[in-house]
Amino acid sequence: MAMSARDDKEELALRKRTLDSLPSAVITVDSDGIVVCVNRTAEEMVPTIGPGVKLRASLEELTNVEKVDRILFHREIATFAARPEGPELHWMLWDASEPEGEFVLTVWDTDWSEVINERRVAFTMAASHELRGPLTTIRGFSEILNMQPESLSPEQAEAARIVEDSARLLSVLVDDIFDLTRSSFGELRLDLHEIDLNQVIAVVISSLEPGISDRGQTLTLDAEELPVIEADESRMIQMISNLVSNASVHNAAGVKIRVKARRSGNEIAITVADDGVGLPFDDPEAVFLSFRRGEAASDGDRTGSGIGVPLTKLLVELHRGRITVETGRGEGTSFTLWLPVDREAALAEGTGL
């Protein structure tokens, strides 16, 4: 039997009294993303969010869309203030057990101040900048030496090559650590534009193929014509490059690396597969944990930090996409980036409010 308007009002009042008895800030949201009820603590902590407002729009007035996605799309904790000059707060959305399909947003005080958070970010940025300076100098002089290898003895030429390769890899590592740190603070942002994925993939292939060929490996591309999508072009290049480089780093000469791109329904799938040794983990998902590396990650001139794949996972999730992995010992490894053709449509399909 359908409830009357009076019954609805009484139930809402009862729910409000129940939520008011809770010590933490609690906001209930319906399946359309509309705020239903706000308890007394939430009214004090988050005065701009009340019954009847659209939750996503309200949150986007307080912080950037990437942090809002962390809460509503990925169901992760995000941290930001509820008002200018206000204290930092933690925010997290939970699936409620009510049959109406509601959600519960909880908000609570952080254990650090905004000043401390800003200092952490500032230190990371300063450290990254200070490291990049000498690395650029080392790499520049080693490139000059490698331009005229005939002027060096064989031993000197080999040393110059190792210095250049090491400086290049260390530069990538510094950038990856910086991005990983910014992401952990929720400060990593995307520069979104309409991009041609076919062109992006071609750039990656052309830049990495010479080095892969020098290692005695092969890199091939099989890509159908892909639609233009809204994405961060530099981050797309970074993600695909990470996966291709990872396939090369963790395998010996003779391995075949294949990049395949296709549209699958409302998603674009970009797969990087190899026929190498496979991942050395009992649980393939362990590859997405930072600093997990295979034994071959430090062989010869190939150095793996264990950061590239976890960072790629963070970046594809910022694009409202996902990454999957398939592997078998001695059977190779296949990573697939799944990107939404339409970022806005991906919210509804992924139950993001």
Q: Which CATH code for domain 112-188?
A: 1.10.287
Q: Which fold has domain 5-110?
A: Beta-Lactamase (3.30.450)
The CATH superfamily assigned to 192-353 is: Histidine kinase-like ATPase, C-terminal domain (3.30.565.10)
Q: Which residues of 268-305 are buried (b: 16+ CB within 10 A; e: fewer)?
A: bbbbbbbbbbbbbeeebeebeebebbbebbeeeebbbb
Name the more confident of 307 and 101: 307
Do the domains 5-110 and 192-353 sit in the same CATH topology, yes or no? no
d(CA 307, CA 326) in angstroms, rounded, equals 19
Q: How confident is the model at residue 113 (pLDDT cuts 50, 70, 90)?
A: low
Q: How confident is the model at residue 303 (pLDDT cuts 50, 70, 90)?
A: very low
What is the Cβ-side half-sphere exposure of residue 299, based on CA atoms within 13 angstroms? 13
For residues 182-202, give the mean pLDDT: 84
d(CA 220, CA 223) in angstroms, rounded, equals 10
Using alpha carbons only, give the angle 317, 33, 51 rounded to the nearest 5 degrees. Answer: 140
In this model, does residue 4 exceed pLDDT 80? no
Given CA atoms 55, 60, 64, 65 in this order, what sign does their dihedral have?
A: positive
Domain boundaries, the chain: 5-110, 112-188, 192-353
d(CA 345, CA 211) in angstroms, rounded, equals 39
In this model, does residue 183 exceed pLDDT 70? no
Give me the residues paired with residue 237 across strands: none
